[in-house]
Structure formats: structure tokens, C-alpha cells
Amino acid sequence: MKITGAQGLVKALELENVTTIFGYPGAAICPFYDALLDSDIKHILTRNEQGAAHAASGYSRVTGKTGVCVATSGPGATNLITGIATAYSDSIPMVAITGQVSLDLIGRDVFQEVDITGATEPFCKHNYLVKNVKDLPRIVKEAFHIASTGRPGPVLIDVPVDIQTDTLDFIYPDEVDIKGYKPNYKGHPQQIKKIAEAVASSQRPVICAGGGVISAKASEIMTRLAEKYQIPVVTTLMGIGAIPADHPLNMGMLGSHGVYAANYAVHNTDLLIIVGARVGDRALGTAGKIAEKAGIIHIDIDPAEIGKNVSTTIPVVGDAGLILEDLYKSIQNCNTSQWLESLQQAVKKNKVKLKEQSSYVNPKKLLAELSKRLYDNAIVVTEVGQNQIWAANNFIARKPGSFITSGGLGTMGYGLPAGIGAKIGRPESTVVVIGGDGSFQMSMPEMGTIKQNRLGVKILILNNNRLGMVREIQKNKYKKRYSQVFLDDNPDFVKIAEAYGFKSEKISCNSQIDSALERFLADDNAYLLECSIDPEEETV
Amino acid sequence: MAKHILSVLVENRSGVLSRVAGLFSRRGFNIDSLAVGVTENPEVSRMTIVVDGDEYTVEQVSKQLNKLIDIIKIRALEDSDSVSRELALIKVNATSSTRSEIVQIVEIFRAKIVDVSKNTLTVEISGSGDKVRALEDMLRQFGIKEIVRTGTIAIERGNKYIKAGSTEEM
């Protein structure tokens, strides 16, 4: 029996076990939205397409499934771009579906036409423009396969409106066979043997865990490996949660916004074992320079990451989980007692002294207090800026996936919609979005999505009436010549929250933290807590 | 900077060339030349890419290209173990007094005259980039009106071959 392309697209999503999608309709995607009415797939209408992409990302990060977002052609599609690029930077599996003008009009600059496959090509794992309705089932099957295997990432499918209304005999392929795409999962035994030998002869080894450890579901085996051989662990921003933050072997986050112990460990190690991390410039401090005196082992599913930013002594391509399993069995011994002792001294220097303040809330204290009150299954989602780093260094992430942030691209406006996706993916979890006043305003209308879907998302705004991170750069590197970082006429966030029907309050000193957090977390409804932060409060 | 030849098998689909060229520009790699044509398998095209850069660059180019889903296989060809050619068409001014000299030069280079007009000769030459350049230098004195060059194509010597399927080498 023949069905339309739009019906076929919906059917293909069902066959991929998609249950929730995020999107925003428009003329060029209307046949798909019409077909969606006959499906059990739940659609979340965001307030901007960018919100849909970030929500799909947050949903993916808590469920492990491929997130799906949908937009119309032209501006709808371009609004997805930041979300797609964010997912690409953080290796999040995502399928983005866009409507396109009809095939005969492509290339004529007609109403709401944009070359979205061309535009997204640099930051998509792959993309498709469907030119024949018969190709649609194969393309959807391939898209989900590519997005979720190897190094995960976003894949875009651009579907012209006449392809959506055209008909096909729908046959969904069982398997995918793409000549040039065969990810390698099993690490080379010879390389693993070399690592085992290097670890055995090392005096001061360190594991650097990146987001790849979490996406490969390798957190448990990595922690077991670290415990068995007593190897300290540092994490990147994306690796937070890969090992419990309060684990005695966890030295904390490294890099320019990291903590002393982590940087001390990396600086003094003789064997750095990087797992699932691209070693970005914020982690390195200086491009291309990390642990210069040490041997460097790099384990990554993406061969192109190895040797890209740092030269590697022993490279291994493959799945972090499988490789760490093999390593767990291969390493004979490792004596690190002296090394751990010296690191314990460094850990003491991690402790920051909190400023005595009477007219502000200290964000570091606030986030530490929040941690104490959250259960292990809680999820913290951050915006980008000082709020992100305060959360990274002070929230006690105990489980992989409990700390969600835009690490690679640093996308302001990510937190609120990603938090929406996380809450929809894991409704039983307490989801707390931490934002600054600047980044929160980039996605603030998504409060409407929270209201419409009755989502109990908690929003914590750290308000210093500044673009705090940029201000700090201007303070330290531009001789306090502050330029365009003042948001003194911020709206009354409490009133805005009330307009959306949220409970809301504002606090402005540390003594209010305890009782405010009690009320903030007391029930399952949405709640906005605005905290007045000293503009002079430093990030680290 | 050394020149390196990459032989790249790609899916014969629209958009692939743009992905490859885009990758070079956004990652800051220099393409010296790029030649594309279909292979013995109509579903597969071969790109011969000459890259300017050091070993790190070539490694990164190969790895980043490999990430593209449409790329099937990449091989860096060694100069000593491969044959490379370039094709050029050179349109040169020719008068009754210079015509015979040009013909002589063309013969020495084992090139061919493929078009003649009252005031011009069009010369076809295939060979290494150096040979094409040498002929160009010799013809410049007569006044070159136009040159069209293909860029390098290359193939491995002997029994080795690069193929899209599972069996690739003998």
C-alpha cells in the first residue's frame, strides 16, 4: 500500500523507537505535522527552533537515545543551526528534520528557501537532501545509524515539501551498509599491551576523563580501573560526572577554569591517559601543550582526535568502555602511593575561601548547598558563563549524565531548553537549570514550553546584572576597560516567572540560602529562584 | 613545504566535492590541485588531491577526510611507487615565422598540436607537473593566450590497487 513521504517519515521515526520529538511547524513541514497527528509520537512545541534542538540534546543526554528536532525551511532551519553545532561539538546523537521548498523551486531563492544542507555541512556528522521519495526510508535508517554510532553527532535530513506529499511503497531496511562508514570499536591488542606496560612502569599516572567516557557508558569501568590501580582522575568540563565528584581519586576539573589539584596532577604526571577527550584549548591552557614531560596515551573512538591537539605516545582507536575493560585485565601492577600522597596536599588547595558578604549570595556556597539537598538521580543543567564554571567546580555530580552543559561550543541559551529536554526524558528526576542573567535571557521564552507542558523544571538564576565571564576577561586582560557587559536594566525575573504561573522568589544574602533552597526543591512544580550575586565574584 | 598526493575513493553523489573542498577551507589546509573522475565502478569516484604541507598536515587531512561519510578510502601515494600525470591545453600565438619553431618544440616535448588557426596553435601535453611547466616556459616567448590544466591524477605502480570493496590489494 502506498503512503505519503510524510507518513513514511513518521513511520520511520516510530520504527526507530522515537517517542518524543521537539519542534516548531511551518508551511514547508506541514505535511509531516499532519501525518504526526495519526502517531503516538509526542511532540513538544518549543518557543524557538533553537530551543527544540537544545531540548533534543538534553533529552538525548539523559535517555541515551537519539534526540530528534524538527523545523520548517528557511528561518526555521537556520534557527536550528546553533543547536546542531552545539550537538556536534559535544558529540550528542541527534537527527534534525527540516522542511524544504519543493524540488522544482530549489535554487530559485523562493520564499523561505535556504540551503540548509550546505549551511550545516561543517558541523554535522552528515546530512541529506531527499530528492526521491523512495530514498526516504533508507535515508532515515542511515541517519539514525550515523548519529548514534562511532563518535555520536547530529545528522540533518532536509525534506522538500513535495517529497512529503509524494507517495511510496514503504519498506524499511533492516540493516545499514555505508561503504565509507565502519566505526572501529575494539582497541588494538598490541596498543593495549603497550599501555599496560606504560602504566606498570609509571610512577605518577593520571587519567583524564572526557565526555566520551560518559557517552561510551564507560564511567563504571573507568572508576573500577582507577580504584584497582589507584590512579587519580581529572575530568574535562564534559567529563564531569564520569567519576563521582566526591570520589577520593577525583582531583576535579582541569584547565583554565579548573581546580588547582587537577592542574597540578596533569602538570606533574609522567603518564597522562586521555580517554574520550579532544583536549580543547580551555583544558590545555596553551594550545598544543599539556603534560610536556609525560608520556601521553590517547583513547578515542574518533581517529581524527588523536594527534590533533597534542602529540601522542600511544594512540588507541576504539570504544572507551571496551578498551578500559581490556586494560582492566591487562595491567599487572601500579604503585602510586607516594603520588597520591602528594596530590592530597594539592587537593587541600582546591578549597576556596568564601568571601564574607551580607548583601549578596555567594554562588559557590549556594551550589555546594544545592548539592547537599539533591538526590543522586538529580540533573543539573547549566547555561554558559560564570554560572557554568561555578556549577562545574561546586556541584557534586555523582553520576554520569547528572551534569549537563554546553562544553565544546559554549552556547549561551543552552541550559533552559536542554533542561526541558532532560525533564521530559527523565520526569522522575529533579532537574535544576542554573543560569546567569545574560544567558538565561537568550532562551527565556522557553518558560512558555515549561508552562504548557506542566514541567517541574527548577530554575536558579545567578544574577549579577553583568555578562560576568566577559567582564572578568575585560577586567584581567583589557585593563578594566569594560565594554558592553552591563545588564543593569534586567527585567524583574520574579514577575516574569509569576506571569508564567511559576512559584518564584528572590534572595540576596547567604543567610537566606537554606530556607530558600528548601522551598525551591519542596514540590514538583516549576520554580524560579533568583539570587543576587556580587559582580566582583570571581569565576575560580 | 612538501607536496603529497592523496588518492581518495568517494561515493559518486552530488555534494561530495563540496564537502571535501569545504573541509579543506575550514580547517585551513592548502589544496595544490584536485582532480575528480568516475572509476570503473559508476557508483564510485576517485579524487586525486595534492596537498601542500608537512607530515602533520597530511595526517590530519587524511583523518578529517576519513570522517566524511561519503569518503570510502584514502591512500597517500609515494612518489617512487606511483605514476602521476597532468593534462594541459595551451593556446599560443603563432605567426608564419614562429609556427615551425613552435612545432619543433612541441615535438621535442612529445606533445600534440590539437587545433590550428591563422594566429594560434593549441598544444596538448600530458606528463608530470614539471614537464608541463617546462613546455609552458618554452612557449611563453611566443605569447600564451590561454592555459587549461587538469591538476594531477595518479595511480600506484604494479599490482597494487585501491578499490571500494573488501579486497583491495594483490
Residues of A in contact with B64 (CB under 8 A): 304
Select the residue from A120, A148, A179 to test the B interface by mutation, using most B Cβ atoms within 10 A. A179
Q: How far apart are CA A46 and CA A52, in angstroms?
A: 6
Q: How far apart are CA A443 and CA A417, in angstroms?
A: 7
Burial class (CB in 10 A: 0-12, 13-18, 19+), B56: exposed
- Identity of the amino acid at A407: G
A322 secondary structure, DSSP code? H
A486 secondary structure, DSSP code? B
Q: What chain A residue is nearest to B26 in terms of C-alpha separation?
A: A122
Chain B residues in contact with chain A using a Cβ-Cβ cutoff of 8 Å: 10-11, 15, 18-19, 22-23, 26, 56, 59-60, 63-64, 66-73, 164
Count of alpha carbons within 13 angstroms of residue A162, beta-carbon side: 8
Q: Quote the minimal CA–CA distance from A305 to chain B in Å.
A: 9
Q: How far apart are CA A232 and CA A340, in angstroms?
A: 7
- Identity of the amino acid at B63: K
Q: How far apart are CA A129 and CA A98, in angstroms?
A: 10
Q: Do A181 and B69 touch (CB under 8 A)?
A: yes
- Identity of the amino acid at A16: E
Model pLDDT, residue B167: 45
Strand-pairing partners, residue B116, are B121
Q: What chain A residue is nearest to B44 in terms of C-alpha separation?
A: A179
**Extended beta strands in A225-329, E state:** 233-235, 250-253, 271-275, 295-300, 314-317
With the CA atoms of A125, A130, A133 and A136 taken in that order, what torsion angle do they form, in degrees rounded to the nearest 10?
Answer: 10
Give the pLDDT band of residue A523 (cuts 50, 70, 90). confident
First to last CA, chain B: 33
Average pLDDT, stretch A207-228? 96
Could you count the other beta carbons within 10 Å of the beta carbon of residue B97? 7
Complex ipTM, two decimals?
0.89
Q: How far apart are CA B63 and CA B44, in angstroms?
A: 20
Q: Do B69 and A122 touch (CB under 8 A)?
A: no
Give the pLDDT band of residue A340 (cuts 50, 70, 90). very high
A66 secondary structure, DSSP code? P
Cβ pair B40, B48 in contact under 8 A: no
Cβ pair A507, A531 in contact under 8 A: yes
**Pick from A144, A272, A295: which is nearest to A208 by CA?**
A272
Pairing of strands A295-300, A271-275: parallel
| Among A199-208, A288-297, B35-44, the least confident range | A288-297
Q: Cα angle at A209 between A207 and A214, to 5 degrees?
A: 140
Q: What chain B residue is nearest to A308 in terms of C-alpha separation?
A: B60
Q: How far apart are CA A255 and CA A260, in angstroms?
A: 9
Model pLDDT, residue A288: 56
Phi, then psi, of A465 in degrees rounded to 5:
55, 30
| Torsion sign over Cα A30, A36, A37, A38 | positive
Phi, then psi, of A256 in degrees rounded to 5:
-60, -25
Give the pLDDT band of residue A293 (cuts 50, 70, 90). confident
Cβ pair B157, B81 in contact under 8 A: yes
Sheet bearing B44-52, strands edge to edge: B30-38, B44-52, B3-11, B71-77
Give the pLDDT band of residue B14 (cuts 50, 70, 90). confident
Average pLDDT, stretch A119-148? 97
Model pLDDT, residue B170: 44
Residues of B in contact with A310 (CB under 8 A): none
Could you count the other beta carbons within 10 Å of the beta carbon of residue A348? 9
Q: How far apart are CA A195 and CA A198, in angstroms?
A: 5
Q: Do B22 and A178 touch (CB under 8 A)?
A: no
Model pLDDT, residue B168: 53
pLDDT digits (tens, 9 = 90+) for B54-111: 888 899 999 999 999 999 999 999 888 999 999 999 999 999 999 999 999 999 999 9
A320 secondary structure, DSSP code? H
pLDDT at A354 over 80: no
Model pLDDT, residue A353: 73
Phi, then psi, of B121 in degrees rounded to 5:
-130, 145
**Pick from A55, A114, A44: which is nearest to A84 by CA?**
A55
Place of cell 539523559: A62
pLDDT at A292 over 90: no
pLDDT digits (tens, 9 = 90+) for A298-321: 999 999 999 888 889 999 999 999
Helix (H) or strand (E) holding A76: helix A75-89
Q: Do A122 and B26 touch (CB under 8 A)?
A: yes
pLDDT digits (tens, 9 = 90+) for A51-83: 999 999 999 999 999 999 999 999 999 999 999
The 3-state DSSP class for residue A70 equals: strand
Q: Do A180 and B15 touch (CB under 8 A)?
A: no
pLDDT at A336 over 80: yes
Residues of A in contact with B18 (CB under 8 A): 118, 121
CA B169 centroid distance within chain: 23
Q: Do A126 and B22 touch (CB under 8 A)?
A: no
Q: Do A121 and B22 touch (CB under 8 A)?
A: yes
**Cβ-proximal residues to B42 (8 Å cutoff; 6+ apart), any chain:** B12
pLDDT digits (tens, 9 = 90+) for A443-485: 999 999 999 999 999 999 999 999 999 999 999 999 999 999 9
Q: Quote the minimal CA–CA distance from A180 to chain B in Å.
A: 4
Residues of B in contact with A304 (CB under 8 A): 60, 63-64, 66-67
Cβ pair A128, A98 in contact under 8 A: no
